[in-house]
Amino acid sequence: MAKGPVFDELAIHQWQVHCDSCNAELNFEFMVESKLGVKAQKPAANARIAELGWKTDGEKHLCKKCQEKAA
């Protein structure tokens, strides 16, 4: 038997962000439960960006390479 959250309907979104340091582009997909609406999209997108190794600070984004340079 599977265990985990139960979703009614998932909406899959495709977004893109650019690194504010080198202008690298990240195209990514993320899922949001449809009933949560638009307000849930940004937090879900930020979580996915972090999973992919990018850093988000407000509206600014840093790719992995630029994070390493800054460290």
Q: What is the pLDDT of residues 24-56, one digit of tens each?
A: 999 999 999 999 999 999 999 999 999 999 999
CB-CB contact of 52 with 28 (8 Å) = yes
Residue written as token pair 């879900």: 44
Confidence of residue 68 (pLDDT cuts 50, 70, 90): very high
Confidence of residue 71 (pLDDT cuts 50, 70, 90): confident
CB-CB contact of 17 with 61 (8 Å) = yes
Q: What is the pTM of this model?
A: 0.82
Helix (H) or strand (E) run with residue 45 in it? helix 41-51
Helix (H) or strand (E) run with residue 29 in it? strand 25-33
